[in-house]
Amino acid sequence: MVFLDLLENIRSKTTSILESQNYTPINFSVESAKPGFGDITCNVSFLLSKQLKKSPQEISIELSKLYEFNDLPQIKNVKPHPSGYLNFEIDYTKFNNIVMSSSIKENYGSLDLGNNEKIVVEHTSVNPNKALHVGHIRNVILGDVISKILKKCNFDVKVLNYVDDSGLQIADIIVGFKYSGFSQDPPNNEKFDHYCGDTVYVKTTEKYETDKQLEEKRHEILKQIEDSSSDISKMAQMITRRVLDEQLKTVWNLGVFYDCLNFESQIIHSKLWEKIFEKLKSDNQIKYEDSGDNAGCWVIPAEGEDDKILVRSNGVATYIAKDIPYAAWKLRLVDDPFSYKVFTTQKNSQTLYETTLDVVDNDIDKQDFFGNKVITVIDNRQIRLQKIVSGLMAKFKEDGAYTHLGYESVTLSADTVKSLGLTTDGDSTQMSGRKGLYVNADTVLETLTKRVYNESKSRNEDLSDSEIDQIAKTVAVGTIRYEMIKPDLDKIITFDLKTSLRLEGDTCSYIQYSYARAARILEKTQTKPNFDSGSELLSSNFEKNLIKKIAMFDVQVNDSVKNLSPKVIARYSYDLSVAFSSFYEHVKVLASETPELLNARLCLVISFQKTLKSALGLLGIDAPERM
RNA sequence: GGGUUCGUAGCUCAGCAUGGAUAGAGCGAGUGCUUGCGGAGCAUUAGGCCGGGGGUUCGAAUCCCUUCGGAUCCGCCA
């Protein structure tokens, strides 16, 4: 820890001073200052003003005299500002070395907030009847980044993907295959998930409007899917796994991997629900209605809202009755009914497990994919149901054990809808799988990769096609990820094929470019950087700004994990790149006046590179040496 | 109708959790910068009653209330 330590140190000094003066303790802030107001700032004088019946300015003047920095050489002084703030100035001749030598360590920016506590992150969870579209990608990327940030903070993270392989959407494509004459072999070797979603699903649901008999079939099919002994169920298993295989290829291309797949069909057959139902009853978490609209139903009482029906008067459980046992399973509130087997080895060579109800001979891995805490990434349209689930879990475990990480959806811009050959009245439109109104993730990645390929080829004529290809993938994946992470969770992303995939300005390629520029400097020198001396020579504002940004990494990681806010790291990466780009433009490293200065600057460039690389790593974005 | 949420520059968004000093970026518009480590860049100019109104406070983009506008959820569907 570098900057967090510094802030904490100043905070405790300030607290001691307050104690020594017998002031009532208060909750003040110590944080990085805006440019022009020192380096670190503290607002304690404002808060003492009432208590002491003095102006903040007077208090600042008095307090500023009481600080001692003998044990904190990287702080030069503290000055009372006329506004009332206490502004601390960093002594960069000392600070530089602390920051730069820390930054080259492997675990720079890591924090031990989790103490290796088990935590589960569930994301993706797309029905296996279609290909992933850009809306799903927001979920996938957010979940992936959250899991990486948690790992950075020493949580023991397991990543799950819930495969809803037995709902109506699955029934729809089975109806398509069984009754509408769609072949199970897609024409022209089309990717199977695209074929199922773009053709079978869309066309079949379209037919329901004119063919009511067909629509009745879907409910028959749905019932049979849930009966594991039926042929339809076996067919559904086969089809959904084929789709799932293709969906996994998509997310792997985006650099996303899981620990375990959970199948809804297995949750249903595991009898988990029955156990939880009993538990809910015995704990009085649900009630049976004798009269009224919901007579004969078991309901979950909800404060300030309508009660949620859990079991219908005919004894059949509703949709939410699938989410509750799964949530309870993730928190291990119930005994684990599953065995585990290897599903596949992923593109990054990480093993992907799946749950199974089959008896596994050699109980190879009684895996422990559960957590003391669970984070479920689902878009905000499900916030109501998720509140009910987290409310119940809080009663069984503790407050906050189950966290719903919600986010706003991705819509399509009017231009993009038009480019799909469809019309819209508004500025943007919700995507719809049923209507075929969406942009597939694979398509976006391919389009973007091609564009980057051409761009990169024109700039790097000496590189081979396979090298350019690698760069194109790195930049394309980074661009998509960055666009999904950058906006706040509660902001709608209006996806536009043109503007969302820009490569200039506040984009991933800007950030990656700054890394590549740094690489070119290092490539062109014979000097072997020595971090042991000379860092005090870095004294220009460009250098100091960059060092301060590098130092702030831990503050940002802390902020990001405490608020479950991936975008904090995205902004940090950008800010860090901006600081470097400015430095790069104004400080000619290779033309440094003395060998000592050259060495110090080279070290700074390395420091920058290492820090940016690990920040980008948290976002799942690679840093290219060239592009 | 009820719940949740968003509203900041022409456009897209930071800042809001924990109120404080000059409200920041990018795109777009204007002007410069390449015999300099890669111009996917740098520098610079213009552009804001932080949706409106009220309140709390010494102090509000930030907290509270209200109002307007947009989004979204609200089935014995999944």
Answer whether residue A393 is part of any domain: no
Last residue of a domain, one of A467, A501, A535: A501
Instruction: Give the nucleotide with minimal C1' distance to the Cα of A525.
Output: B37
Average pLDDT, chain A: 95
Instruction: Name the nearest CA neighbour of A501 among A531, A481, A521.
Output: A481
A195 lies in the same domain as A244: yes
Question: Do residue A187 and residue A39 come from a single domain?
Answer: no
Strand B close to A578 by CB, under 7 A:
yes
SS3 A133: strand
A326 phi and psi, to 5 degrees? -65, -45
Distance, CA of A505 to C1' of B10, in Å: 18
Question: What is chain A's Cα-based Rg?
Answer: 28
Do A362 and A421 lie in a common domain? no
In a domain, A609, yes or no: no
Nucleotide nearest to A296 (CA to C1'): B76
**For the residues A226-242, what does the mean pLDDT come to?**
95
Say whether both A124 and A178 belong to one domain.
yes
- A563 CB-to-strand B distance under 7 Å: yes
Is the minimum distance from the CB of A53 to strand B below 7 Å? Answer: no
- Read off the pLDDT of residues A577-586 as tens digits, 9 standing for 90 and up: 999 999 999 9
Inform me whether the pLDDT recorded for A362 exceeds 70.
Answer: no
Which of the 152-211 residues on chain A come under 7 Å of nucleic strand B at their beta carbon? 166-169
Q: How far is the CA of A222 from the C1' of B63 (A)?
A: 50
Closest residue (CA) to C1' of nucleotide B76 is A312
- pLDDT digits 0-9 by tens, A370-424: 999 999 999 999 999 999 999 999 999 998 999 999 999 999 999 999 998 888 8
pLDDT at A367: 79
Domain presence at residue A408: no
* Gap between the Cα atoms of A95 and A355, Å rounded: 51
Taking chain A, what is the end-to-end CA distance rounded to the nearest angstrom?
Answer: 32
For residue A158, what are the contacts with CB-CB under 8 A and spacing of at least 6?
A118, A119, A120, A121, A259, A260, A368, A369, A370, A371
Distance A454 CA to B52 C1' (A): 50
pLDDT one-digit tens code per residue, A4-31: 999 999 999 999 999 999 998 899 999 9
DSSP SS3 for A482: helix
Position A523 in a domain: no
Which strand B nucleotides have any atom less than 7 A from protein CB atoms? 2-6, 12-15, 17-18, 20-22, 25-28, 36-43, 58-59, 71-78
CATH code of residue A49: 3.30.1360.70
Residue A315 zone, left/alpha/beta (φ > 0; ψ -120 to 50; rest): left
> Does residue A254 sit in the same domain as residue A345?
yes
Residue-wise pLDDT for A236-264, tens only, equals 999 999 999 999 999 999 999 999 999 99
Nearest to A197 by CA among A133, A261, A254: A133
Question: Is A142 within the bounds of a domain?
Answer: yes
CA atoms lying within 13 Å on the CB side of residue A543: 25
**Are A264 and A122 members of one domain?**
yes
**A141 & A56 share domain:** no
In whole angstroms, B1 C1' to A83 CA is: 50
Closest listed residue to residue A537, CA positions, set A221, A52, A65, A100: A100
- Asked if residue A313 keeps its beta carbon closer than 7 A to nucleic acid strand B, the reply is yes
Tokens coding A21: 């003066």
Give, as one character, the DSSP assignment of residue A626. -
Q: Is the CB of A81 under 7 A from strand B?
A: yes
Percent of chain A whose predicted confidence (pLDDT) is above 90: 91
Length of chain A: 627
Segment A499-528 shows an average pLDDT of: 96
The pLDDT assigned to A115 comes to: 97
Quick check: is A361 in a domain? yes
Average pLDDT over residues A536-560: 97
CA distances from A433 to A123, A129, A150, A404, A453 (A): 19, 10, 32, 24, 30
ipTM over the 0.90 cut-off? yes
Q: Is A61 found in the same domain as A165? A: no
Same domain, residue pair A122 and A68? no
| Protein residue closest via CA to C1' of B25 | A506
Are residues A224 and A364 part of one domain?
yes
Is A272 within 8 Å of A355 (Cβ atoms)?
no
Using the CA of A460, give the nucleotide whose C1' is nearest: B38
Coil/strand/helix, residue A236? helix
Span CA (A454) to C1' (B29), Å: 29
pLDDT in tens, A178-211: 999 999 999 999 999 999 999 999 999 999 989 9
The reply to whether A125 and A223 lie within a common domain is yes
Taking the C-alpha atoms of residue A101 and residue A468, their distance in angstroms, rounded to an integer, is 34
CB A377 within 8 A of CB A363: no
A59 and A139: one domain? no
Output the pLDDT for position A138. Answer: 98
Are A343 and A356 in contact by the 8 Å Cβ rule? The answer is no
Domain limits for position A463 = 413-501
User: In this structure, is residue A430 part of a structural domain?
Assistant: yes
Domain count for chain A, please give it: 3
Answer yes or no: is A343 within a domain.
yes
Separation of A71 CA and B30 C1' (Å) = 52
Q: What is the pLDDT of residues A472-510, one digit of tens each?
A: 999 999 999 999 999 999 999 999 999 999 999 999 999
β-pair partners for A402: A374
